[in-house]
Amino acid sequence: MTTTSAPAPQLTAQEPHAAVPQRIILRPKAGWQALDLAELWHYRELLWILALRDIKVRYKQTALGAAWAIIQPFLTMLVFTVFFAGYGKLPTDGVPPQVFYFCGLLPWQLFANSLTNAGNSLVGNQNLITKVYFPRLVMPASAVITGLVDFAIAFVVMLGLMAWYHVMPGWQIIFMPVFVLLAFFAALAVGLWFSALNVEFRDVRYVLPFLTQFWLFVTPIVYPSSIVTSPWKRMLLGINPMSGVVEGFRWSMLGRPTPGPLLAVSIATIGITLVGGLFYFRRMEKTFADRV
């Protein structure tokens, strides 16, 4: 039969877990709010399962599936090699240009894809946001996690490319995860701002593709940051968080050149943007369901 008639014993309200009911008070919130990281931790499973959903869907719907993660940076690398290194004669720090470009594109792609996903995460999931409660931060955070899978796939190709050109990573490779993490946080930091802005201003959807394209060229990917020699100007370059990330990632993989203070500036930028983004997001969070 279809209906469950007898109530199952574990459902009664007198169970021990109900002994200490949590009490919450909902009242109007204005201005800046404290971050509730404990609650975010409580929802970690949701974070994970939403990321998993995006990954599964991404590879189910596309004909080439995982190949996309490789095709995009690989073709870009070829074009860069032919035009910038070949005809443009741009220096590549003494590394084969194929390896040099691919190595720069890897963290870049992680950042740009994650940023785009995060930026559209709230608007793209409006059916969830208007129907269920969960800390909204879960949305952009899970979008950024999704980008790590593409990164991992492309990373394998990177290793193959390095073997082909006989470039061996040195001891610095142990720092590689640090830079992946930095790219992750850079994407989250900027993504938080854009996802919240996207709810308010739908223009963000059009700004994002342009922004990532533009940003690619102010990041030392097609050129080494070593072409900027003045220490003061190098610091300026570091304000772009991705300068430090890309330079650092290259250093960890190829062993040269050491990033130096530029990296410190980038880490500081990421930190400031992230904390600012978290608070801005938290402040805007309460209006998402009404506006999205």
Residue with tokens 């930095």: 182
What is the spatial distance between Cα 45 and Cα 96, in angstroms, rounded to a whole number? 43
Q: Is 24 in the site for another protein (CB under 8 A)?
A: yes
Write the CB contacts of 269 (distance below 8 Å, at least 6 apart in sequence).
238, 239, 240, 241, 244
Nearest alpha-carbon partner for 151 in 100, 109, 101: 109
**The pair of three-digit structure tokens given for residue 207, joined into one six-digit string:** 């700004």
Q: Which two tokens stand for residue 70?
A: 């490789």
Q: Interface with another protein includes 29 (CB under 8 A)?
A: yes
Say if CB 204 and CB 194 are below 8 A apart: yes
Rounded to 5 degrees, φ, ψ at 133 are -95, 135
CB 58 within 8 A of CB 146: yes
28 lines the binding site for another protein (CB under 8 A): yes
Nearer to another protein, 105 or 149 (CB): 149
What x/- string results for residues 167 through 206 when contact with another protein is judged by CB under 8 A?
Answer: ---------------------------------xxxx---
Q: How far is CA 192 from CA 26, 134, 142, in A?
A: 24, 16, 12
Site string for another protein, 117-156 (x = CB under 8 A): ----------xxxxxxxx----------------------
- The answer to whether 256 contacts another protein (rule: CB under 8 A) is no
Other beta carbons less than 10 A from residue 205's beta carbon: 15
7 vs 229 by CB, closer to another protein: 7
Q: Which of 16, 19, 25, 87 binds another protein (CB under 8 A)?
A: 25
Q: Which of 131, 166 has the CB closer to another protein?
A: 131
Interface with another protein (CB under 8 A), residue total 44
Per rule CB under 8 A, is residue 34 in the interface with another protein? no
Q: For residue 31, state whether it binds another protein (rule: CB under 8 A).
A: no
Contacts to another protein by CB under 8 A: 2-5, 7, 11-13, 18, 21-29, 45-46, 49-50, 53, 56-57, 60-61, 127-134, 200-203, 286-287, 289-291
